[in-house]
């Protein structure tokens, strides 16, 4: 998962290199670019705890959850600007 707001920045480049090496070793790689997704904030309704983990919000996070459940390994690449994860401010700009 790429959490960088810049498509060709350092974080994205490192994630692409990692994915290429993984693919070259006969592994299946699914790339998810978080800046291209519409993801709502959790409302804390707890409905997901009653219906098998499915969020009532109809956003891209449900698709991401499906991919995460299928994965053996999950890599999150996110830049850190002055000890701060930038993705949380720029996710839906």
The pTM of this model reads: 0.74
User: Higher confidence at residue 8 or residue 84?
Assistant: 8
In this structure, is the dihedral angle defined by the CA atoms of residues 20, 18, 69 and 62, taken in order, positive or negative?
negative
In the predicted structure, residue 12 carries a pLDDT above the cut 80 = yes
pLDDT above 70: percentage of residues in the chain: 87
pLDDT tens across 14-49, in order?
999 999 999 999 999 999 999 999 999 989 999 989
Cα 56 to chain centroid, rounded: 19
pLDDT on residue 7 = 86
Dihedrals φ, ψ of 77, to 5°? -105, 115
């Amino acid at each position: 998962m790429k959490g960088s707001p810049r498509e060709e920045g350092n974080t994205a480049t490192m994630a692409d290199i990692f994915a290429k090496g993984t693919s070259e070793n006969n592994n299946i790689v699914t790339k998810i670019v978080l800046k291209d997704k519409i993801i709502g904030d959790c409302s804390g309704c707890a409905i997901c705890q009653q219906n098998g983990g499915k969020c009532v919000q109809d956003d891209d996070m449900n698709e991401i959850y499906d991919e995460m459940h299928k994965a053996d390994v999950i890599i999150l690449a996110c830049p850190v600007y002055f000890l701060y994860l930038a993705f949380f401010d720029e996710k839906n700009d």
